[in-house]
Structure 1
Amino acid sequence: MKIIYKNIIGIVLLSGLLVLSGCHKDESTDGLLEQNKVGLSDPKTGTVINIFQGDVLNLKPTLSQSMKNNMDDLTFSWTVYDNSPSSNYTLPRFSIGNEYELKYTVSGESFTLGQNYLLRLTVTEKSTGLSSFLNYRLLIANKYGTGWVVLEDKAGKGDLSFVFPDYTVEHGIYTDRNTTVLTGPKKIEIVPFSITEDISASGKRMYILADNGSQEYNFLTMTKKFDYSFLFFSAPPVIKPSVMNFTSGTLNSANRSAILGIAINNGKAHSNLVGGFPGVKKWGDIALTPSGTQNYELAPFASGGNTYPAVVYDNLSKRFFYIRGYSPTPVAGSLEAFPSAASSVDAFDMNNVGMTMIFQDSADVVKTINAVMKSDNNQPYLYKYKTESTTSAPIITLSKTQMNAPGFVNYTAAAGSTTTPHIYYGLANKVQKYETSSNTTTESYSFAASEQITAIKYAKYSSDRTGARLVVATWNGTEGKLYFFTINNVGDLGSASHTFTGFTKIVDVAYKY
């Protein structure tokens, strides 16, 4: 009985202690500091930020704290990670800032064009070591992806400008990005389809041709890529380029591929057998004539297709040659005579023209070429031919016409239309329109008397989707101007839709896409 009584007393005492304990005021946390909570937000994190090389990346997210006036306790770090599908974000590539607001100039040395990156802002409290994070997605975009590249001559030295699809202009691109001097700039060559030659990554190609300083120019970053001599297995003894491009047998840009690279330097032909053999493909030695000599002088034009990969014209022997692609026999890269079956008696003989070529460009019929020749008595003739044939229809010569085109033999610039049967040529300050189907010429546009035409280019499509476009450059001795004309379905030019000023002497323009 005593034992039971003692147990009851113990239970009562324990219960009382628990009650007293529960009623006791806990003052153990009275001295702790309240924890600061940092919040980060920015609507730009919800999308991909497209940024161009050379532009300033400026970011200042909204920062909130549960305790105010505590910025001195915070550190900031902006770090960049690879954002490819295989990335796990364990190691940052590099740091680009340690301030709350980021102001960073994107450069090609750190950011690769076309690459995706993750940019992370880390905010850390010094007193606690606790961190908060905010992630941005970046894509290094191609500012110069689409538009007109303008090659200028500044007192004998070359420079580039760019006309964007929104009709803004950027000048001095070459001199801003390169130290190599271009002396005697002559031409821009653009290959709008991918080339694989194992020198560098597959892609489109761009070449600047000049009397000194010719080079491959980076199609994406608009900076110098390779010296001209590097593009050859053995550099030519004299560097005086006029053509450097690749021919293709297809017209669909999505599926185009190169058949043969053709370069004309100092009047001699060099070929690049892309795809013909494994390993690095460069331009080869000077092509030899069928008799095994270098005794020829090529006009600065080249065409080509599946049947005849490259077609060139010798102004010394006054005849056409073709260059085949990869072939063990005969040796690829040599000049070859056309088979007799390729020429029509009613048109002309590809192997015996007897005139001097002064112009050549694509015609309005697919895989057809307009070549303008000059006779010994300075009369222009239009020779039309095809670059492809079939076994059942081997003839490629189409017609020969004495042109009713006053002044063509003295033209300063010219371009062929691929949508209408016309050739536009500059004569002093006037744009003349020669119609190949009717053999007639009309004046299309007249500039101020002081403005002499220095370059003409035709584009089948324009970046603003307004149709075909003719681009004309003029020079008045002090300033170069560039004019955009929209062409209607019968080849007529109205007034210039856009005029751009502030250039030096424009020697060539090319549409980049």
Structure 2
Amino acid sequence: MMTNSMKNKKIKLVCALATLLWIAVSCYKDQGNYDITMPTTPVVHGLDTLYNALVGDSLIIEPMIEGLPKEQLLYEWRIYVPEAVRPELNSYQGAALRIVFGLQAKRYTARLTLTNTENGMKYFYKFHIQGNTAFSKGSLVLSEDDGVTKLSFIKPDSTIQPNIYESINREILPVGPRHIHYLRNQFTGNTPLGYWVITQNGGVRLDVNNLQKEAVKPGTLKDNFFLAPTTLQVGSLQSHPQGVLMGVINGKFYGGTTTTWDQSNTYGMFGTYADGDYTLAPQFVMSVINNNFSIIAFENNKKQFVRLNIYGAPMYFGTQYTPVSSSIFDPTKLDMELLHMVQINNSDTYAYMKSIDGGIYELKFNVNFNGPFTFTAAHKRLFKYAEFIDQDTKMLCTRNGNIYIAHRNRLFRYNPISEQLTALNTTFNTPISMLKLDDDEQTLIVGAGSSIYYLDIQVGRDGDLLGQIQGIPGKPIDMTWRK
């Protein structure tokens, strides 16, 4: 016998099934013929992806909009400035962006936002602005003129502005020029961070925009220490891809800090040196494998190659590596003086060393200082061209395995595999004071006398003269550039 409760449940079930059937039939009959009006999307013409703006000059961006009436749109322009204290000051209203560009000579992300006032729809258009100054493109040449350090700017049209540092800063540079570095953080889109002019006992940091000596960030090498030594004797310094200096000062290895934002005033400053009992030769090689950095250096007192690693900061490990093929030579027991050291493609390393009896030896080796920490000797042989190697010799190598050697006024290409030495076609009447490679390594840049020479070293070329810039005050020591 069916109870009232059971009857009610049955009635509810029948009603539910009927409802589902009605919905299904309704959906089947619905053919989807809807009259839908999509909102009109504005079409923007004349908005480029990149604008070059001269610092202190007008920047005008005035795109054309189609699809919607101009009066129906709201325009908002925003430039994203990471260093800005008040970001709202870099937002603008209006159909055109018309400003005096007062930001730095950096690349900024920007966005145009269009708002349809009738329905509230927003449309976003991204672009970039590259700030430039009169010094955004060109070369800086560090030279020495009768014991006075000079800095000159070479414009893209090859005209020279000599003594540019003195003209802008109303002072002279420290004596004993060594290097000039253009520092940029390659891990943040090559963000320009500054120029460093390095001298024998100090250095000066310049703003990349105007070449003025830094007033807010450390302006001198001594100021770049959290706790500076009493005296500074610079061996050599190199630029790390994160935009800081690393190298040998007072025989110890220092590395600029990278643990803060690269726009911080303390970014790149030196803390304590890599702890250890050692005195390094000025020459060292910085290697990178899979973004792991290591340093090959030479300990002057113990006459041995030593290992340093960059684990946030430089750390000294000495001879904590395993010598391989030590019958060729033992890297921990070398009774010789290091003269020069070059490395090809983060791999084959060549050291030119002077023995007690005055002989010049070429040592070839490979290291793995990122684990399992090995030092593999390849050969040790008397260098066939010892007359061209001394402390004043200039030497650099290319990725294709050639080593360029400049001795006095003579310039050679040396193949360490075949031991072939070839004199380049361009000759010099004065001693060569500088050797550099252009970025593509197709051009060798030579400083001699008061000139800079550009030589063709492409495959099949033997250093034919491509061009010459005259009028450098004194002899060129080093140079850098922005393209």
Q: Name the TM-score, length of structure 1 as normaliser.
A: 0.63
**Could you tell me which residue of structure 1 aligns to residue 297 of structure 2?**
312
How big is the shift at 1:487? 0.4
Deviates more, 1:45-54 or 1:309-318: 45-54
Q: Aligned partners of 1:114 and 1:206: how far apart in 2? A: 15
**Could you tell me which residue of structure 1 aligns to residue 437 of structure 2?**
458
- CA deviation profile, 1:266-309 (whole Å, cap 9, x unmatched): 332223453499995632224443xxx45x24224342335662
How big is the shift at 1:488? 2.3
How big is the shift at 1:413? 4.3
How big is the shift at 1:179? 3.6
AA matched with 1:350: P
Q: Aligned partners of 2:135 and 2:323: how far apart in 1? A: 42
How big is the shift at 1:485? 0.3
Q: Aligned partners of 1:193 and 1:52: how far apart in 2? A: 22
Give 3-state SS (helix, strand or coil) of 2:322's partner.
Answer: helix
Q: Which residue, out of 407, 416, 434, partners 2:387? A: 407
Give 3-state SS (helix, strand or coil) of 1:183's partner.
Answer: coil
Matched, 1:283 2:270: yes
AA matched with 1:341: T
Q: Name the TM-score, length of structure 2 as normaliser.
A: 0.66
Matched, 1:183 2:156: no
Q: Aligned partners of 2:384 and 2:442: how far apart in 1? A: 25
Give 3-state SS (helix, strand or coil) of 2:311's partner.
Answer: coil
Q: Aligned partners of 2:477 and 2:180: how far apart in 1? A: 9
| Contact 2:428–2:448, Cα closer than 8 Å, also in 1 | no
**Could you tell me which residue of structure 1 aligns to residue 22 of structure 2?**
none
Q: Which residue, out of 388, 395, 398, partners 2:368? A: 388
**Could you tell me which residue of structure 2 aligns to residue 298 of structure 1?**
281
Q: Aligned partners of 1:141 and 1:510: how far apart in 2? A: 17
1:109-508 to 2 correspondence within 5 Å?
111-114=103-106, 140-184=131-175, 185-194=177-186, 203-212=192-201, 214-225=203-214, 226-247=219-240, 257=242, 262-272=246-256, 274-275=258-259, 280=266, 282-289=269-276, 293=277, 296-306=279-289, 309-326=294-311, 333-363=314-344, 365-388=345-368, 394-410=374-390, 412-445=392-425, 447-449=427-429, 451-461=430-440, 468-475=442-449, 480-489=450-459, 492-494=462-464, 496-504=465-473, 505-508=475-478
- CA deviation profile, 1:140-180 (whole Å, cap 9, x unmatched): 31544454431012333322223455544443322232244
How big is the shift at 1:138? 8.5
- CA deviation profile, 1:21-59 (whole Å, cap 9, x unmatched): xxxxxxxxxxxxxxxxxxxxxxx99998745459x8799
Please give the root-mean-square deviation of Cα atoms over the aligned residues, in Å: 4.2
Matched, 1:89 2:104: no
Q: Aligned partners of 2:163 and 2:55: how far apart in 1? A: 16
AA matched with 2:92: Y
Pick the structure with greater CA Rg.
Answer: 1
| Contact 2:53–2:59, Cα closer than 8 Å, also in 1 | no
Q: Which runs of 5 or more structure 1 residues have no equivalent in the other structure?
A: 1-43, 60-80, 97-105, 119-136, 249-256, 462-466
1:51-90 to 2 correspondence within 5 Å?
52=54, 84=79, 87-89=90-92
Q: Aligned partners of 1:189 and 1:88: how far apart in 2? A: 35
Cα distance change, pair 370–273 in 1 and its aligned pair in 2 (3 A) = farther
How big is the shift at 1:492? 2.2
- Percent identity reads 18
Cα distance change, pair 166–95 in 1 and its aligned pair in 2 (3 A) = closer
AA matched with 1:483: Y
AA matched with 1:187: H
How many aligned residue pairs are there? 383
Give 3-state SS (helix, strand or coil) of 2:341's partner.
Answer: strand
AA matched with 2:362: L
Q: Aligned partners of 2:373 and 2:221: how far apart in 1? A: 40
| Contact 2:281–2:297, Cα closer than 8 Å, also in 1 | yes
| Contact 1:311–1:322, Cα closer than 8 Å, also in 2 | yes
| Contact 1:187–1:242, Cα closer than 8 Å, also in 2 | no
Q: Aligned partners of 2:327 and 2:184: how far apart in 1? A: 36
AA matched with 1:223: Q
AA matched with 2:221: Y
Deviates more, 1:392-401 or 1:215-224: 392-401
Higher percent of residues as strand: 2
Q: Aligned partners of 1:277 and 1:138: how far apart in 2? A: 22
Q: Aligned partners of 2:359 and 2:194: how far apart in 1? A: 37
How big is the shift at 1:187? 1.4
- CA deviation profile, 1:342-377 (whole Å, cap 9, x unmatched): 4432543332222211122332x3444332222223
| Contact 1:430–1:445, Cα closer than 8 Å, also in 2 | no
Q: Which runs of 5 or more structure 2 residues have no equivalent in the other structure?
A: 1-45, 61-75, 81-87, 111-127
- CA deviation profile, 1:53-77 (whole Å, cap 9, x unmatched): 59x8799xxxxxxxxxxxxxxxxxx
Q: Aligned partners of 1:283 and 1:139: how far apart in 2? A: 31
- CA deviation profile, 1:431-457 (whole Å, cap 9, x unmatched): 1222211123232245353x2211111
